Chains A and B, each alone.
Chain A
Amino acid sequence: MLELHYNRPTTLRDVVGLLDGGAARLLAGGTDLIPQLREGRRSASRVVDLKRIPELNAVERGPDGGWRIGAAVTIGKLGQNSAFAIEHRALLASAQLIGSLQIQNRASLGGNVCNAAPSADAVPLLICLGATAEIVGPGGRRIIPVASVAMAPGRTSLVDGEVLVALVLPAVRPRTAAAYERFTPRREMDIAIAGAGAWIELDAAGAIVDAKIALASVAPTTLFATQAQQALIGSKPSSALFTEAASVAAREARPISDTRGSEDYRRHLVAVLSRRVLATCAAELGCKIE
């Protein structure tokens, strides 16, 4: 690790000013970035610490009844917001799978998105829930779906000089539920071999009108299982339906084999986990499925 400039700006304008040239890295929680820099897996001549910028460190109600989560808000702090914790129990629980409590007290939701790891536990539900990313850069402010942030492992669609400022969640609609489950050999301090997030919306008659399934660790970025989603729409929740959709999701997965798991095992887990999270969503909505 070569010489390093460390900056602690207090305004967003100052951040953008410090980002000229590609050798600067943004530091939110640092739980990914610091080991990456020290082990030479990423390089930087400057880190810009985002934790002193008020806008990036607030959790606020959005005008539409949704939420605006500053990109540098730690998962620990997010969990202390009781209104958020009640409304987004599943999303919060997915974020609370990351690392240990020590990690969660530093790591931010924005960092989990921008680190662009396929295994990011908080991302599947963020994208299932339709979260958007508010990005500020030299060209001003733009808003894109969170699903469009990660381009490849470790690479985002943000261009030099841009900063993820906040993640914006739309208001929770009635008759919707979300759930995320991952599989790890250890019960804590581990990284998903595969993960599945699901969100479903029922109509008044109890049929699924909309559904999202997003998969972790089985593609270069978090993967929407679009065919599995389609397979759900129009039907009432049932265990046969969920088993079928889950097997579609498993076919849609594009996993690799590595030290954490083989392609086959990951695909197998996608089927298991997708079925389980769909069942959890249904149970949450009071559906009795056999």
Chain B
Amino acid sequence: MKTVVTFEVNGEPREALADTRDTLLELLRDRLGLTGTKEGCSNGNCGSCTVLVDGEPVCACLVFGGEVEGAKVLTIEGVAASNTMHPVQAALIKYGGTQCGFCTSGIVLSAVALLRRNPQPTDHEIRHAIAGNICRCTGYGKIVEAIKAAAVDLQEARL
């Protein structure tokens, strides 16, 4: 069964013709070609498909496409402003926080959401915020370091 979903993706109004069984993940990847959001488990257990729906991080694999009708969705493709990296992205590059890159989109979105609600997180708060994002390459240390540095960069940018 087909349905048209009208919502906002990365600040742009979009209309997608989807199957009612499609998840938001399939809507983004297969119907809109936004393949930066990754599928690692389809079950909410790896966090690779993390996107922000109305500002909150969710697993796109656990949301039916129809549920985002009228919502604002932010995916990895919309995190950097035109060609300027978000401080989280810049820090992940600088500190070696991305290796294979498959979990990275989800990590970026979880970190962006964290720093919006908590601009000065502790190490534990950072680890808690990305605990739903499994990374198999880095051991997380360099990711935590990067998010901490990004928090400082964002603070300085605000001053």
Contact = CB atoms under 8 A, between A and B. Distances in A.
Q: Do A and B come from the same complex? A: yes
A35 interface: yes
A288 interface: no
B131 to A, nearest CB: 4
Contact of B42 (A30, A38, A49, A187): A38
Given A30-B64, A34-B63, A189-B45, A102 B50 contact: yes
The dominant DSSP class at the A interface is: loop
A99 B44 contact: yes
B129 interface: yes
Contacts of A51: 67
Contacts of A6: 1, 3, 20, 64, 66
A71 to B, nearest CB: 16
Given A4-B1, A35-B42, A189-B131, A101 B57 contact: yes
B80 to A, nearest CB: 21
A49 B1 contact: no
Interface string A101-145: 111011000000000000000000000000000000000000000
Nearest to B60: A102
A34 to B, nearest CB: 5
B66 A8 contact: yes
Given A103-B59, A189-B45, A34 B64 contact: yes
B63 A30 contact: yes
B20 A101 contact: no
B116 to A, nearest CB: 13
B1 A102 contact: no
B62 A101 contact: no
A172 to B, nearest CB: 27
Contacts of B3: 6
Given A3-B1, A102-B44, A35 B131 contact: no
Interface residues of A, number: 27
A102 B47 contact: yes
A273 to B, nearest CB: 21
Interface string A6-47: 101000000000000000000101110011001000000001
Given A103-B132, A105-B57, A4 B21 contact: yes
Interface string B1-15: 101000000000000
Given A101-B131, A103-B132, 7 more contacts: A1-B21, A8-B67, A49-B66, A99-B132, A102-B62, A105-B56, A188-B128
26 contacts: A3-B20, A4-B1, A6-B1, A6-B64, A8-B66, A30-B63, A30-B67, A31-B59, A34-B62, A34-B64, A35-B43, A38-B23, A47-B64, A49-B64, A51-B67, A99-B132, A100-B131, A100-B133, A101-B57, A101-B129, A102-B57, A102-B62, A102-B132, A103-B59, A189-B131, A189-B132
